[in-house]
Chain A
Amino acid sequence: MDEVRLALERLATADPELAEEVGNILASQGPVPAGRMDLLVEETIWGLSQETAFGVALARGYARLAGLCPDEKFQYYRQKTRESGLLGATIGRMMAQHLVPVLVHGDDGLARTFSDVFDTMYRMGTYTLKGPLKELTVLMRSGDGASGAAYLDLLKSAFSLNISYNQSLHFVYTLPTAVAAFAPVKRAWQIAALTRIVRIDPLLAEAFLQGKDRGLDLLSRESLQIFVDAALEKFTRAPEQGIKFMALDSSTALDLCRELQVAVPLEQVQQTLARYVRARTGLSVAVQPAATGKGVSYGLLPDAPMGFSDTRTIYLSGEMGCFPSQSENRALYMALAKLEAGLLEFGTHDFDFERALDMCSGRGLYIGPDPVLPSSVDQKEVEKGSDLERFFSLFPDRARAAGLFTIFEHGRVRQLLAEQYPGLIKKVLPLFRTESRRMWQAGEGDPVLLPLYHSIALGAGERLALHSPTHASRMLKIQNCFEGEINRPGKGDLGIDGPAGPESSARLTVMAYNMLERAPAEGGHDWEALNQAGAGPLFPFGRHLRPDLVYNSFAVYDELSRKIVEALREQGAKAYKSDVRQRLVNNSGCLSPEDLQDAILKISLDEDGPDPDENQPVVDLSGIDLEGLLRDNGIEILDCGDVTGDACRHPEWDCNVGDYLEDYVRVTDNRIQGCEGDFYTRTLERHAGLVKRMRYAFELLRPEGLSILRQWVEGDQFDYRALLDFALDRKAGIMPSDRLYIKRIKQQRDVAVLVLVDLSRSTANQASGSDETVLDVEKAAIVLLCEALGVVGDKFALAGFSGTGRFGVEYFRIKDFDEPVGPETYANINGMLARRSTRMGAAIRHATRQLEQVAARVRLLMVIGDGFPNDVGYKQAYAIADTRKAILEAMSKNIVFKGISVNMAGDPKLDELYGNLNHNVITDIAELPDKLLRIYGSMTKI
């Protein structure tokens, strides 16, 4: 240790910061063999004397190698850095930096290849070193040695070519970027294919990279080889065609690629799967690739098949390539989604820890090797995490418990699916059984759990052959337990009628765990390995449970319901958390006292058994202030009677989930508080000139024309052409038509318009270049529009909106369709005030609802706003997506939409918000009154 300290002190005299950094690196490694520290310091000082950056790179490099690698490598490093350093400090630095990961993660051969490649690239030019070697370091550090070797080979091939400066410069950029973009599982052989192509022609390599983005990356190793063979053959015959082919720029190439392509990317089936799940379960569930966001679980590769779910999302692998044909892979996706949907449908994610414990103790079951009563366990178990995680934490070996639970739970759901969807089970299970047999024969998976999974979760008739007879009999016993539990006639959990819940699986887990615990593990099996990364999938196609995700998706509700249950317990009432949580989720975070009552009563019914004769509630809840309890916990009280009155609920589009959040937003519908004043008449006076012009223009909009309908059965005049036909027909002995008349009908202008004004806080800002606020100008514009609409005779309504948060959106009616413009309208317009935020989607949905009820041929919704929607939890992309969706909904109901943005410069995002043809920007708000009339006029011209 002294040697290290002394050396660091010496280094500190040269560069104290560097010495500290080296010290930190060394501290994270093992002991440093004697002599190395001296070398480190000497070489560093030599490097520093050449160039500071070189010295720093050397110090870091030596420090990383000092404790880890054998002497030869250490010496090799010295030799190489010295050699390169003599060529120049920059070269030396490159070597000092990038040789390290090669030495640490690769073998001797790789180090020599590296040095070889380094020389080649150096000869091409120093500029070729930096970018490509940086990517190599990334690859080596990620532990992907095979790709690293392939990449070195690629670099060597590319830079040994006789190419121009520009071409080599191009390679310096494209090669590392391309390699970084390859999917990790396919990287090594994709690089090899690229190398093969580069050797033939650099242009071909360029084409390959283009082709990769167009679909070549979905090919398997063998298919890619076949494709490249075909392309190269074409290239030798006609280079230009070969290049086109490689870039997937010809139809023959596309056909071949499609033919060879077996992997199916999730995007291709995502919508189909989501729609299917929606149809089957009626729940809003998204389907997403497992690799994004939620990360890789249990050491599975991101592209290995897998399926898991939480309450809102089904996660599947981003690409499916298990089978040799596309249709089979597609079918596997479907199968995984179908089974996962089963978990959602049959309440796996509603698992309740307490209920499970009650069920276990009710049967005198104990957990763990030492008999511990669950009630005493209750105290020491972890408080955090989902109910399932808490349940698993009761077992000394969590992984085994989790595995067993998965088996029983998948088995339970399989049984339920078989009853409701016999076709599904018939189609899907054979696929999984074949896979589990394959896994068993290949020695994959877990030797104890896999056979259980095969018989219980997959319900396979034949058993996987087990070596020890005792083990086989134990298996059989567990299976009998399962069938007894799940098929118990009539009663499910705790005597409730209906199918068994996930808590039954918990009870089975306890039983089976104890049975297996008493027996020695078979074949020297290491349970610990299950917990570790890289163990591979436990069960066919990587299906597993992810209790942590379930918790994360509802952590807030989970916590709230825990509090409520505790508060209830203090008041002497018992409810299960999952029951409360379920109600919270269903009501989007609100609860009514009745909900709580239901949850409490549910238990008392469970305990006493359902008794049809007894109509009285078993528990007297009159002493408990349920409402107060809810208020104390900050939960919005859902008043059931409220919905029909002034407030109503609207959905909101969540672009992250890709689905609607039902009844998510609460909109209160009020009449605005009028305020007497002479605003209306004053405005008309002020804009007298405009009013005059406007009157004239809108008079012209009024329809006067009559349209003529010919060949009518009745009408005010004969249609002479028809009369001629009539005479001729009669002459010819044919029954003549009786449609002989002309009818003139008055052309009707049947327009209803609703003007919705944003009353957000920002409208109180001063309009630029004037002492009026934005809202004042908006109000003036509305006054003029009222006049104009009066002239033309269109039906119209005025409303404003504002609010805070999703429960507090306010919609103010200023004038309804059926009410005449009068003193009340004047007062209401005068009473418009700038208020709070803008949750535009909900307001538009509400306005749409109002507008829908009006009978008119053309219905028009105009929104006047001064910026983008913005509210609590309603920002930017999310807000834009929801508003846009609301507009599309309105348009699908045959309502024409127009957005008018005032007091802001144009923004391309406005196109996203309203749709590019549906909005106008009025930067100078002073123009609003005039322009609003023009816009309206041109929109409704006949």
Chain B
Amino acid sequence: MANDKRIEPVAAVMEAEPYYLSTGNEIKTFEAAYDARLPLMLKGPTGCGKTRFVEHMAYRLKRPLISVACHEDLFASDLVGRYLLKNDETVWVDGPLTRAVREGAILYLDEVVEARKDTTVVIHPLSDNRRVLFIDKKGETIPAHPDFILVISYNPGYQSVLKDLKQSTRQRFVSLMFQYPEAEKEAEIVSHEGEIDRETALRLVDLANRIRNIREHGLTEGASTRLLIYAAQLINRGVPVQEACRTAVCLPLTDDERLQETLDELIGDMFDG
């Protein structure tokens, strides 16, 4: 008979506060939603701070955070758990979702559209007033821990028809919209995270805004805050500014040579030496 045993340790509450600069009243909204135990959906382009926000909130709310990066081979069983063979015995191992439900953690499903359709089925009963998890392999129904909350993130940028959330899923979540922060704030974030002076950070942000100008010329997305932070970190470690921008901002964005050329020119103009 199957052994019911957890082998993973209990997820821990974060000790240090992850840096996050609020750009609106998203913190208040999140707290309110958490208070009402409403599931949340974070929308926004890549690298604009969705994941960091969840980490920050987990720290603020003193809840452990379990993050799952979704991908197209992610099955429901990867979330819920499965039987494994161990010394000719089958052992049940909880998946991250089950753990979070039992322990009352915040479960963060990053880029949820990437996951297989069947995963949505398991999160549906968790994301409405039932707040239960069915484990059909075990025939078990677990009521969610009172502190459990589900957060998913979603990038409307690559809205392929194949990868859009169904209305039935969408309408189970309250949504927070994220954008790249306004220049001043973005610069503050870049300068804090990349540990560079504000002046250079402002220039980096300015560069990103100009790159966003030529989105229609073949860039699928503009330069994200994350890339800017990478550039800042390179600069901080002594890489020349232009070089850092090229490595961290231009090259990751596109493979198109002519676009690269334009971006190169821009960088050459905006940064001295």
Q: Given A271-B258, A276-B265, A279-B262: A422 and B85 within 8 A (CB)?
A: no
Q: Given A280-B210, A713-B77: A423 and B242 within 8 A (CB)?
A: yes
Question: Can you name the residue of chain B whose Cβ is closest to the Cβ of A712?
Answer: B75
Question: Can you name the residue of chain A whose Cβ is closest to the Cβ of B218?
Answer: A275
User: Which B195-210 residues have a C-beta within 8 angstroms of A?
Assistant: 206, 210
**Cα separation A855 to B166 with both chains bound (whole Å):** 8
Which among B97-105, B156-164, B186-194 touches the partner chain? B156-164
Q: Choose one: B159, B162, B268; the contact of A857 (CB below 8 Å).
A: B162
**Contact string against B for A residues 355-380, beta-carbon threshold 8 Å, 1 for contact and 0 otherwise:** 00000000000000000000000000
The minimal Cβ–Cβ distance linking B82 to chain A, given in whole angstroms, is 7
The minimal Cβ–Cβ distance linking A752 to chain B, given in whole angstroms, is 9
**Contact string against A for B residues 126-157, beta-carbon threshold 8 Å, 1 for contact and 0 otherwise:** 00000000000000000000000000000000
| Selected A-B contacts with CB under 8 Å, 23 pairs | A272-B261, A275-B214, A275-B217, A275-B259, A276-B262, A278-B214, A278-B217, A279-B210, A279-B211, A279-B266, A281-B213, A422-B271, A423-B268, A423-B269, A423-B270, A424-B270, A426-B272, A714-B75, A735-B85, A738-B82, A855-B161, A857-B161, A857-B162
Q: A18 contacts the other chain (Cβ, under 8 Å)?
A: no
The minimal Cβ–Cβ distance linking B130 to chain A, given in whole angstroms, is 23
**Cα separation A334 to B75 with both chains bound (whole Å):** 53
The minimal Cβ–Cβ distance linking B218 to chain A, given in whole angstroms, is 9
Q: B273 contacts the other chain (Cβ, under 8 Å)?
A: yes
Give how many A-B residue pairs fall within 8 Å (CB-CB). Answer: 72
**Cα separation A859 to B159 with both chains bound (whole Å):** 13
**Contact string against B for A residues 859-873, beta-carbon threshold 8 Å, 1 for contact and 0 otherwise:** 100000000000000
**Contact string against B for A residues 272-291, beta-carbon threshold 8 Å, 1 for contact and 0 otherwise:** 10011011111000000000
Say whether B262 contacts A855, CB under 8 Å: no
Which 4 pairs of residues, A with B, have the shortest CB-CB distance?
A424-B269, A422-B272, A421-B269, A282-B213
Say whether A427 contacts B77, CB under 8 Å: no
Chain A residues contacting B265 (CB-CB under 8 Å) are: 276, 334
Q: A856 contacts the other chain (Cβ, under 8 Å)?
A: yes
**Cα separation A583 to B62 with both chains bound (whole Å):** 51
Chain A residues contacting B41 (CB-CB under 8 Å) are: none
Question: Can you name the residue of chain A whose Cβ is closest to the Cβ of B270?
Answer: A421
**Contact string against B for A residues 415-459, beta-carbon threshold 8 Å, 1 for contact and 0 otherwise:** 000001111101100000000000000000000000000000000
Say whether B269 contacts A280, CB under 8 Å: yes
User: Which B219-259 residues have a C-beta within 8 angstroms of A?
Assistant: 242, 258-259
Given A276-B265, A423-B269, A423-B272, 17 extra CB contacts under 8 A: A275-B214, A275-B258, A275-B259, A276-B266, A278-B213, A278-B217, A279-B266, A280-B210, A334-B265, A421-B269, A423-B242, A423-B271, A426-B273, A427-B269, A660-B216, A852-B159, A857-B161
Q: Choose one: B77, B85, B164, B259; the contact of A714 (CB below 8 Å).
A: B77
Say whether A272 contacts B258, CB under 8 Å: yes
Say whether B270 contacts A272, CB under 8 Å: no
**Cα separation A421 to B211 with both chains bound (whole Å):** 15
Q: A325 contacts the other chain (Cβ, under 8 Å)?
A: no
Q: Given A280-B210, A713-B75: A424 and B164 within 8 A (CB)?
A: no
Chain B residues contacting A271 (CB-CB under 8 Å) are: 258
Say whether A894 contacts B161, CB under 8 Å: yes
Question: Can you name the residue of chain B whose Cβ is closest to the Cβ of A660?
Answer: B216
User: Which A193-226 residues have a C-beta within 8 angstroms of B?
Assistant: none
Question: Can you name the residue of chain A whose Cβ is closest to the Cβ of B267?
Answer: A423
Q: A544 contacts the other chain (Cβ, under 8 Å)?
A: no
**Cα separation A83 to B269 with both chains bound (whole Å):** 70
**Cα separation A281 to B164 with both chains bound (whole Å):** 34
Say whether B210 contacts A427, CB under 8 Å: no
Q: B263 contacts the other chain (Cβ, under 8 Å)?
A: yes
Question: Can you name the residue of chain A whose Cβ is closest to the Cβ of B269?
Answer: A424
Question: Can you name the residue of chain A whose Cβ is closest to the Cβ of B216?
Answer: A660
**Cα separation A427 to B273 with both chains bound (whole Å):** 10
**Cα separation A278 to B265 with both chains bound (whole Å):** 12
The minimal Cβ–Cβ distance linking B55 to chain A, given in whole angstroms, is 31
Chain A residues contacting B266 (CB-CB under 8 Å) are: 276, 279-280
Q: A338 contacts the other chain (Cβ, under 8 Å)?
A: yes
